[in-house]
A and B are shown apart, each in its own frame.
Chain A
Amino acid sequence: MYMNTNTRIVSPEFDFIQPKTLAEAFSLLEEHGATAKLLAGGTDLLVQMKMERQQPSHVISLAKVKELEGIKAGDGLTIGATTSISAISKSAPVKARYAALREACNAYSTVSVMLMGTIGGNLCNASPAADTAPALLVHDASVILKTAKATRKVPLKDFFTGPGKTVMQPGEILTAIELPEPARGSGSAFLKISRVVADISQVCAAVMLVRDGDKITDCRIALGSVGPTPVRMKHAVGALIGQRGTPEAFDAAAEIVARDITPITDVRATEKYRRHVARIIVRDALLTAWQRAAEGAAK
């Protein structure tokens, strides 16, 4: 009965725990098992608890686990899971090399949500509309999943399995996101369409192109809010690689995207509108990324 649902009062009782180390977090997770939830920024979890979509017995906050926060740049980039969206959008290496991710972070709801929300939380929440997901997909990111005993690295393209669902196993914590160094001559871009700026996307799209002169040598395209998970577009990419980067080629690829996606009609947009604007923003993002690739090569 939705009339009882609200986003202010947390009525179910739960225990709140704040471990200081990852090791402590693992043992707490083991102890309280499936009924515990990890808290990062809380911008999704707390709302879900208020709405009683989640009723954990224990909430384990990762706020004090220092090793989970921060951005390390080297050959590529490692972003700690509890790094805030705002910190990523302000990061110099992100600004210099990962344009799509930066634009996704800048398009991320309101200032307060950007300050509280974390990149790890955004991914683990596994919303089909997660703004950072398409950007990370085109940057070819992987996530690091750890238990007390083991560590595995999962490519982000294999991470999401459905709305709110991922390949994570009980006891695992997503500790970091790893992005490889962008290829020489590459450019990326992210675009989002929403009813108002402070809103979940109706459609969002990220693209990455590698150019050699006027030829496209590599490409990735990913979209959000067009299917059960953030999704990479294979056919459109296939149509672009090896081609010349012309507006016509980008338009044709965008049309393939509009055909391949599986959007639904909901309160935010109709299926028809989603297909229409997916084509527009993919085309626009490809044009921008192509331009950026040229600028990058010129530097």
Chain B
Amino acid sequence: MSATQLKSVGDSSWRKDGISKVTGSEQYAPDISVDRMWYGRVLRSPHAHARIVSVDTSAAEAMGAVCLTFADVPQTRYNERIVSTPPCLYRDRTVVADKARHVGEALVGVAAPTEELAEKALRSIKIEYEVLQVITTIEQAQKDGADPVHDTVLLNGEDKPIINNVAVQRTIDVGDTVKGFAESDFVIERSFKTGRIYHAQMEPKTVICQPEADGGITVWASTQSIHNTRILLGQIYGLPLNKVNVKKVALGGAFGSSIQMNSVTPIGVGLALKSGHPVKIATTREEDMHDHVRYPSEIKLKLGMKKDGTLIAGEMHAFEFKLKQYVGLGGTFWGQGPASKCIIRSDGVPELLKTGAELINWDKRPKPGSQTGRMRRGIGMARGFHTSGVGHAKASGAEMIDYSGAIVKLNEDGTVDLIQSLMDHGGGTNHAISKIVAEELGVPNHMVGISPCDTRTSLYDVTTHATRGIYAGGAAALKAAKAVKEQIIDWAARVLDVLPESLVIEPDQELGQGVIYCPNLAERRMTVGDLARYLHLNSLGTISSSQSMRQVNCPPAYVSYYVDVEVDTDTGQIHSRRAALGSDCGTVVNPALASGQLIGGLSKGQGYALTEDNQWDPVTGELASKGFWVDGKTPSISESPLVADIETHFAHTYEPTGPFGAKGLGEAAKNPAAAAFANAVYSALGIRFYELPITPEKVLAALAEQAAGKTARAARQAPAPVPVAE
């Protein structure tokens, strides 16, 4: 089917949750309140590394608060992120920690009838710490005699010792690099550094847990996967899954930071079970900023190439300062880092590059270093991709769980309910999937409603990560819609007394209904609503289908960035002035929302490139920002180019394995940002930067060196490609 024949897929319709979101009536986890509800707070460690000698909660309990210490929680270790299977799942966490391993580590939960009382009670708790060595660098951690952060880690039921603070090492070798470098005409070596970024999702991470009379629990939580949250809570608290119900509520952004079960989720459950009250914990911005991070990294890269630029060898040493157990904590920004191989069957890159170049006037870009005035413009480009989902990861040896489910049912008036646990981060994934269902069923888009659901009433979905929402989750919904359509056609064939093969369904905008008809027998027609009523009034049952599916491929979603910056050489500030952002996401399900994803990616990417670096103090392990968002330096609309100066465009591709030819988009949307900005700054100034963020201070320092003619710096930090001796 070509894109021009599509009815619902491809139009920029209003998202179904749009009105409720802009009027403030949408319910997010922080909006949930239940009867008899208490409020929880979490006491977090002020030390980066400390043993807990004693905890005295008596004063808090005297105030009427209930406390949850390490002694109160199950001692079995778990991994809060269960996208991988047990053979590669390292388990090192408990609900609250036995030892502080980073500033902000959750140590004691407190619940009380009001949040203010919980806060007071929390402050009355006395903890005696034995402060241990603060470890903030890889070198410190690996030194002989360094304090072990973890003594052991649990892998597949086996308690593995940790030597010199290294729990796991991974080496990936493909081909013969020695031979490759030997055959290279040029070899370049570079070092790169990236910043430490707070996800800055709008929603404060929240959990509400209601203990049920049957011993079960009902949970509302900020999460990217209600089912993984359920499985983990069941494992931790020894509850069968039919007694753990996690409700799907709107998610106010995550950017990957809720791929794991959030630290407050099991604490809220523990407090509810201990107190017998429903308990709500909504994190403060400050504790949230200590709770997850995009790791900073140092990358040493060596590339070998032929004279024509063909890359033939590469070597990369990447150190991510995960410091998960040292001073920071959390997940990578977007998803899990797919370990799988993909088959490329759609490639819009040439089109993206051509269109983007035209939109930004690439041919007229300034020659690097050619400008002399105070304000210098520069145009830079970069491209990137992310696989759509993780595909069939067994192919590369590391198994990742990756499947989605969906229930589609025809209501008694011909409308349709889509019941799917897949979380929408805010980009409109659920809306887009409802359009895929409408397209398949041949009904107008507004006929398909997105149902509220929970883990008890929906099928498993792994998590919305790795650019998989539409490609993998949409494919599962499409599978269910196909099965529903088949039943609709079968029943209609009987009612209309024609062969099923002769029937088609198409949306009729005037009727506002899907119409089932036989193209060569015009009088044999009925609406989907007519059929649904007929089935209902004759007690013939409900048409529905419940399907689960794994996408075996994970096609790359390509993105291209062309950005135009203005550098103020007096203040060192870099202003983002124009951008042309391109996406090859296959068939575009909803262009306006897809555009929004790209523009959002530009904003997040700009922060990563130019302003954000939420670093800790190397001596104390405290965040320099102390968790205050005013020092998070996240760009806002004020730092963005004017909307009129951001062009978005899409490649005209069709991914044969995707629902109606669609691939992913979300995580890919940000990937090229930092490189594009760095290239634009090079175009403006003739100076290369290899460290993020490119702050005004760094720009001024580099300009001063450039002015002093110290090109030696460039040579030192970034040696020119050197010819390899024959």
Q: Hey, which bits of chain A sit against chain B, CB under 8 A?
A: 1-11, 13, 193, 195-200, 267-270, 272-273, 276-277, 280-281
Contacts and interface: CB of A to CB of B under 8 A. Distances in A.
A3 B44 contact: yes
Interface stretch (B281-289, B477-485, B490-498): B281-289
B30 to A, nearest CB: 11
B639 A196 contact: yes
A196 B123 contact: no
A196 B634 contact: yes
B363 to A, nearest CB: 33
B633 A11 contact: no
A199 B696 CA distance: 15
Contacts of A2: 46, 622, 626-627
Nearest to A9: B119
A102 B192 CA distance: 43
B631 interface: yes
Contacts of B636: 196-198
Contact of A197 (B104, B624, B638): B638
A197 B122 contact: no
A5 B286 contact: yes
B284 A7 contact: yes
Interface in B282-326: 284-287, 290
Contacts of B286: 5-7
A149 to B, nearest CB: 38
A250 to B, nearest CB: 14
Contacts of B627: 2, 5-6
B611 A267 contact: no
B628 A7 contact: yes
Contact of A7 (B44, B285, B571): B285
Contacts, number: 80
Interface in B604-651: 611, 622, 624-628, 630-631, 633-636, 638-639
A251 to B, nearest CB: 12
Given A5-B627, A197-B639, 20 more contacts: A2-B622, A2-B626, A4-B43, A5-B626, A6-B287, A7-B284, A7-B286, A9-B119, A11-B120, A11-B123, A13-B116, A196-B611, A196-B639, A199-B633, A269-B697, A273-B697, A277-B570, A277-B696, A280-B571, A281-B571
Interface magnitude class on chain B: 35 or more
A267 B629 CA distance: 12
B571 A277 contact: yes
Contact of A8 (B285, B573, B625): B285
Interface in B567-593: 570-573
B116 A6 contact: no
9 contacts: A3-B290, A4-B46, A7-B284, A11-B120, A193-B571, A196-B636, A198-B636, A270-B697, A281-B571
B115 interface: yes
Count chain B CB atoms within 10 A of each CB in A7, A10, A11, A281 and give the residue with the most.
Answer: A11
Contacts of A11: 116, 119-120, 123
Interface of B: 41, 43-46, 103-104, 115-116, 119-120, 122-123, 284-287, 290, 570-573, 611, 622, 624-628, 630-631, 633-636, 638-639, 696-697, 700
A197 B264 CA distance: 32
Contacts of A199: 630, 633
A8 B611 contact: no
A9 B123 CA distance: 13
A32 B262 CA distance: 45
A10 B700 contact: no
A8 B285 CA distance: 8
A98 B622 CA distance: 43
B635 A196 contact: yes
Contacts of B571: 193, 277, 280-281
Contacts of A8: 284-285
Contacts of A267: 624-625, 631
Nearest to B628: A7
A259 to B, nearest CB: 18
B227 to A, nearest CB: 30
B638 to A, nearest CB: 4
Contact of B116 (A4, A10, A195, A273): A10
Contacts of B284: 6-9
A195 B285 contact: no
Nearest to B638: A197
Nearest to A8: B284
A207 B41 CA distance: 48
8 smallest A-B Cβ distances: which pairs?
A6-B284, A197-B638, A11-B119, A1-B46, A3-B46, A6-B286, A280-B570, A8-B284
B287 A198 contact: no
A221 to B, nearest CB: 18
Contacts of B104: 3
Contacts of B116: 9-11, 13
Count chain B CB atoms within 10 A of each CB in A2, A10, A193, A200 and give the residue with the most.
Answer: A2
A3 B115 contact: no
Nearest to A110: B636
Contacts of B572: 273, 277
A179 B694 CA distance: 42
Nearest to A198: B636
Contacts of B285: 6-8
Nearest to A195: B633
Contacts of A277: 570-572, 696
A273 B697 CA distance: 6
Contacts of A269: 697
Nearest to B288: A6
A169 B44 CA distance: 40
B118 to A, nearest CB: 9
A11 B634 CA distance: 28
A4 B290 CA distance: 12
Nearest to A279: B570
Contacts of A280: 570-571
Contacts of B120: 11
Contact of B696 (A7, A13, A273, A281): A273
Nearest to B127: A1
Contacts of A3: 44-46, 103-104, 287, 290
Nearest to B626: A2
Contacts of A9: 41, 115-116, 119, 284
A281 B568 CA distance: 12
Nearest to A13: B116
B700 A276 contact: yes
Contacts of B573: 193
Nearest to B115: A9
B567 to A, nearest CB: 14
A2 B631 CA distance: 15
Nearest to A11: B119
Nearest to B41: A9
B123 to A, nearest CB: 6
A277 B700 CA distance: 10
Contact of B630 (A6, A200, A272, A281): A200
A194 to B, nearest CB: 10
B46 A273 contact: no
Contacts of A6: 284-287, 627
A1 B119 CA distance: 14
B700 A4 contact: no
Nearest to B123: A4
A212 B123 CA distance: 64
Contacts of B635: 196
A2 B611 CA distance: 24
A133 to B, nearest CB: 19
